[in-house]
Amino acid sequence: MICQECNQRPATLHFTNISNGDKTEMHLCERCAQEQGEMFMMNQGSGFSINNLLAGLLNMEPSFQTKKQEAFHQEHVLKCNHCSMTFPQFVKVGRFGCANCYETFKGQLPPIIRRLHSGNSTHMGKIPRRIGGNIQIQRNIANLKQVLSEHISKEEFEKAVEVRDQIRSLEKQLEDKRKGGE
């Protein structure tokens, strides 16, 4: 099957979108599916925006396909208490309203995030220096704990002791920071 957007490459992604009982199918190649109207695109309006694409992706979530759950969601619509965005609105526009939306919709997000980021769901990159100090320490501790268990499984006890001390000192740092912050 050929991608219906570019009519060139083979379609590898197939979306079925059901709204109001109408079923529409989309067959896209990877590239067209990921087109995001990024900066360098001088020519916009090629018809199919990330917004409706994302809406398509989100609507595919199994939890929204059964009528029962749809009814449930109409009764208890999730709504961000900071920006007032509801979950259906988010699905429609494909954009969060504010940072707090991530917290509000956290029960719904993991499958969406994984789908968009090749199965990844946890940030592994930069941590802001000023506000992220504790997170960095926590991440270091988690890494060291892994190293520790590797050393133990290889019976490298001297190295294990070294790492254990490093972990302790980081844990102390963390505790001091928390006390200082209060």
Partner 1 sequence: MSLERFISQAVSSWMSEDGPDSDIVLSSRIRLARNLSEINFPTLATNEESGKVIETIEDRISKGPAPGFGKMELLKMDDIKPLQKRVLVEKHLISPHLAENAPHGAFLLSENEEISIMINEEDHIRIQCLFPGLQLTEALEAANLIDDWLEENINYAFDEHYGYLTSCPTNAGTGLRASVMMHLPGLVLTRQMNRILPAINQLGLVVRGIYGEGSEALGNIFQISNQITLGKSEEDIVEDLNSVVSQLIAQERSARGALQKTSNIQLEDRVFRSYGTLAHSRIIETKEAANCLSDVRLGIDMGYIKDIPRNILNELMILTQPGFLQQYAGGPLSPDERDIRRAAFIRERINMEKNQ
Residue type, position 118, single letter: S
Q: Is 99 in the site for partner 1 (CB under 8 A)?
A: yes
66, 69, 117, 145: which one binds partner 1 (CB under 8 A): 117
Q: Using CB under 5 A, list all residues that contact Zn ion.
A: 3, 5-6, 9, 29, 32, 80, 82-83, 85, 97-98, 100-101
116, 145, 154, 161: which one binds partner 1 (CB under 8 A): 116
125 binds, among Zn ion, partner 1, none (CB under 5 to 8 A by kind): partner 1
| Cβ-contact 52, 92 below 8 angstroms | no
Read out DSSP for 70-114?
A: HHHHHHS--B-TTT--BHHHHHHH---SSTHHHHHTTTTHHHHHH
Read out DSSP for 18-41?
A: EETTEEEEEEE-HHHHH----TT-
Q: Is 143 in the site for partner 1 (CB under 8 A)?
A: no
Could you give the CA distance from residue 66 to residue 63 in angstroms, rounded to a whole number?
7
Identify the residue whose tokens are 């360098």: 40
Could you give the CA distance from residue 127 to residue 163 in angstroms, rounded to a whole number?
23
| Cβ-contact 68, 51 below 8 angstroms | no
Q: Is 129 in the site for partner 1 (CB under 8 A)?
A: yes
Tokens matching residue 61: 């979530």
20, 43, 81, 153: which one binds partner 1 (CB under 8 A): 43
Of 30-38, 61-69, 142-150, 157-165, the segment contacting partner 1 by CB under 8 A is 30-38
Q: Is 145 in the site for partner 1 (CB under 8 A)?
A: no
For Zn ion, give the closer residue by CB, 4 or 140. 4
What minimum distance in Å lies between the beta carbon of 164 and partner 1?
A: 24
Q: Which residues in this chain contact partner 1 in the complex, by CB under 8 A?
A: 6, 8-9, 29-31, 34-44, 46, 50, 54, 82-83, 85, 93-99, 102-103, 109, 112-113, 116-132, 135, 138
